[in-house]
Amino acid sequence: MYKKKPYFIVFEGVEGCGKSYQSKKLYNNLKSKNIKSLLTREPGGTKTAELIRNLILKDYFNNSGKDKFDKYTDTLLYLAARNEHIKTKIIPALKEKKVVICDRFVDSTIAYQVYGKKVKRNFIDIIHKFILGKLKPNLTFILKVSSKSSKSRLKKRKNKNRYDKFPKSFYVNAQKSFLKISKNKKNYFILDSSDNTNELEKKIFKIVSNNLKIK
């Protein structure tokens, strides 16, 4: 039987994997069971964090490389947005014993900034120590997608951001990074989202239901 308690669920994966879609589906399924939930995203999630998000995205489209942020400046902006998000949205929601569903979190920083941009891991870990405190996701879903499905979905997007326009090799390497991060971790679930069907939605909800003891 479900007992109201704080619970933190994260969806991770490359662009076009369907994480935003599935996180919304999970949110709606929990609402249908009258379970108080919060759906949010990173970078962003709060008014101030969304301002930082827009700054990061705008910077990417500068034509001159000289005008772009250094990779460490870029990383610090992501971490600043996360700090705002955690302090003003995630922690308060968990204190209210809500189920928090987040589209991207710490693993995206490791996959993109550490493995992708070669930012020093200890640089991020030191800052995370202060930002995160004891906060950790209870469940993380890594959505694995074929290059064909990902490309097809990105083509259909009306509003593209900086990460929707990288070469295929970037997404392949990023996906390998997510899989590496999740290796041998009990609270991680790797699911194939190449066919973003109702079956995947049901599978995710079943895993969450089992963990939250929802009937």
**What's the predicted TM-score (pTM) here?**
0.90
* Burial state string for 101-120 with b = 16 or more CB within 10 A and e = fewer than 16: bbbbbbbbbbbbbbbbeebe
- Nearest Cα neighbor of 124 from 135, 140, 111, 136 is 111
pLDDT 10s per residue in the chain (215 long)?
778 899 999 999 988 888 999 999 999 999 999 999 999 999 999 999 999 998 888 755 555 556 678 999 999 999 999 999 999 999 999 999 999 999 999 999 999 999 988 999 999 999 999 999 999 999 999 999 886 766 555 565 556 555 556 666 777 888 999 999 999 999 999 999 888 778 999 999 999 999 999 97
* Domains annotated on the chain, with CATH: 7-212 (3.40.50.300)
Instruction: Give 98's DSSP letter.
Output: P
